[in-house]
């Protein structure tokens, strides 16, 4: 009577676990896949090392003149970006007043932080403050003229600051209009509905650049004789109208996702239309569409670059201008890469945030 003692388990074949197994499964699972992998590796070999060499290893980081870069043409000339950095950020804003921009942006960041803290309960109040009181404070800081601040005309605003201002104004101004339009589009009143639909479809159907042209060339014709708006404000009006149509569609998505029972319950309680919308439907719908709003914000943020075509100096326009500096001709790739990097960091982090938010909110009653 021998007791059967099983052999100890054999380890899995080396080819299916560990690094080799991973490689086999993910890179070399079939001849075709192997070919793809080898091709991709070749591509990476051809592109990545020279790129890293250009951007980091051989790059010129220091120096204030182009001689440094001319001495070493195989690397990127980041000195160019460094010398112009302040202009890229602040435009033609007077150097002594930079602190005002820093303060305004720092204030915004400080105000935004509690919004991301779970335990903070007064989020609604804070958000209202950011949307209503903050723009006034920021305007005072940027434009000056009051409280002993030196007045800075809008033609001196520029760089990344202008990009941020334009996109922030675009989103804040388009939100209320977008909500009204979304409600209008879902209204039972035929005329209200068709007016909203026509408005939304009109702005969604035309390119932003024609809207900006219209704002810069045609808007002055619409106004009574002698009235005129600042060019920056005209661009902002154009952007806000354009954006409100997209915002309306996002909000409409949220309104549609609210179960019918909520509408009926609000009605059963005898709430008026505005009360049921304001107290029951919109709070739920708006919360649900935050990721959508972030996505339109990303699109708007990228689209603000178009203002350079009507002669405003946003980040991209400042970089274009820097290329004209006779002391620094020929470094356009560095300039574009720098601009691309800034835009990418902003857009990518926002899109990641919106995705995370979407996952978090997906537990609700979205269908």
- Nearest one of 295, 288, 305, 292 to 343, comparing CA atoms: 305
30 burial class (0-12, 13-18, 19+ CB within 10 angstroms)?
exposed
DSSP 142-171: HH--STTPPP--GGGB-HHHHHHHHHHHHH
**CB nearer to other proteins: pick between 5 and 188:** 188
CB 185 within 8 A of CB 196: yes
CB 105 within 8 A of CB 141: no
The distance of closest approach from Cβ of residue 116 to other proteins in the complex, given in angstroms and rounded to an integer, is 21
The distance of closest approach from Cβ of residue 62 to other proteins in the complex, given in angstroms and rounded to an integer, is 20
The partner residues of 77 in beta bridges, in order of sequence, read 60
The distance of closest approach from Cβ of residue 65 to other proteins in the complex, given in angstroms and rounded to an integer, is 15
**CB nearer to other proteins: pick between 7 and 362:** 362
306 burial class (0-12, 13-18, 19+ CB within 10 angstroms)?
buried
**CB nearer to other proteins: pick between 72 and 272:** 272
The distance of closest approach from Cβ of residue 3 to other proteins in the complex, given in angstroms and rounded to an integer, is 43
The distance of closest approach from Cβ of residue 5 to other proteins in the complex, given in angstroms and rounded to an integer, is 40
The distance of closest approach from Cβ of residue 57 to other proteins in the complex, given in angstroms and rounded to an integer, is 21
**CB nearer to other proteins: pick between 262 and 332:** 332
d(CA 312, CA 322): 14
**CB nearer to other proteins: pick between 257 and 337:** 337
**CB nearer to other proteins: pick between 5 and 327:** 327
- Nearest one of 135, 152, 136 to 99, comparing CA atoms: 152
**CB nearer to other proteins: pick between 186 and 302:** 302
**CB nearer to other proteins: pick between 2 and 297:** 297
The partner residues of 157 in beta bridges, in order of sequence, read 91
The distance of closest approach from Cβ of residue 7 to other proteins in the complex, given in angstroms and rounded to an integer, is 34
Say what the alpha-carbon torsion angle 165, 167, 168, 174 is, to the nearest 10 degrees. Answer: 130
* Backbone conformation region of residue 78, classed left if phi is above 0, alpha if psi is from -120 to 50, else beta: alpha
Q: 313 Cβ partners below 8 Å, 6+ apart? A: 91, 92, 157, 158, 159, 162, 321
The distance of closest approach from Cβ of residue 9 to other proteins in the complex, given in angstroms and rounded to an integer, is 28
The partner residues of 314 in beta bridges, in order of sequence, read 159
CB atoms within 10 A of CB 212: 21
**CB nearer to other proteins: pick between 60 and 196:** 196
The distance of closest approach from Cβ of residue 201 to other proteins in the complex, given in angstroms and rounded to an integer, is 7
Q: 10 Cβ partners below 8 Å, 6+ apart? A: none
Q: 116 Cβ partners below 8 Å, 6+ apart? A: none
**CB nearer to other proteins: pick between 118 and 297:** 297
The distance of closest approach from Cβ of residue 256 to other proteins in the complex, given in angstroms and rounded to an integer, is 15
Alpha carbon 148 to its chain centroid, in Å, reads 34
């Amino acid at each position: 009577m021998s007791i059967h003692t099983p052999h100890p388990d054999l380890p899995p074949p080396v080819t299916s676990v560990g690094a080799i197994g991973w490689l086999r499964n993910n890179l070399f699972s079939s001849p075709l896949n192997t070919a793809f992998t080898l091709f991709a590796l070749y591509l990476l070999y051809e592109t990545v090392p020279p790129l890293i060499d250009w951007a980091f290893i051989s790059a010129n980081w220091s120096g204030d003149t182009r001689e440094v870069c001319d001495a070493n043409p195989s690397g990127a000339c980041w000195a160019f970006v460094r010398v112009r950095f302040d202009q890229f950020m602040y435009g033609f804003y007077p150097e002594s007043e930079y602190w005002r921009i820093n303060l305004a942006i720092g204030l915004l960041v400080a105000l935004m932080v509690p919004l991301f803290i779970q335990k903070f309960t007064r989020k609604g109040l804070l958000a209202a403050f950011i949307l209503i009181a903050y723009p006034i404070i920021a305007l005072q800081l940027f434009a000056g003229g009051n409280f002993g601040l030196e007045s800075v005309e809008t033609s001196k605003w520029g760089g990344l600051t202008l990009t941020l201002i334009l996109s922030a104004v675009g989103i804040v101004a388009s939100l209320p209009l977008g909500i009204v339009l979304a409600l209008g589009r879902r209204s039972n009143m035929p005329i209200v509905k068709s007016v909203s639909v026509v408005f939304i479809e009109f702005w969604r159907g035309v390119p932003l650049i024609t809207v900006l042209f219209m704002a810069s060339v045609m808007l002055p014709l619409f106004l009574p004789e002698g009235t005129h708006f600042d060019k920056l404000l005209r661009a902002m009006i154009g952007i806000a109208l354009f954006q409100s149509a997209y915002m309306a569609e996002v909000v409409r998505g949220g309104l549609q996702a609210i179960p019918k029972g909520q509408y009926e319950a609000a009605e059963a309680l005898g709430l008026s239309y505005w009360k049921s919308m304001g107290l029951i439907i919109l709070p739920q719908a708006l919360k649900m569409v935050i990721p959508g709003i972030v996505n339109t914000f990303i699109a708007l943020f990228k689209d603000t670059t178009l203002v350079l075509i009507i002669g405003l100096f946003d980040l991209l326009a400042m970089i274009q201008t820097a290329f004209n500096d006779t002391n620094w001709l020929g470094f356009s790739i560095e300039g574009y890469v720098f601009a691309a990097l800034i835009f990418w960091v902003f857009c990518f982090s926002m899109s990641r945030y919106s995705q995370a938010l979407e996952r978090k909110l997906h537990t609700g009653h979205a269908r």
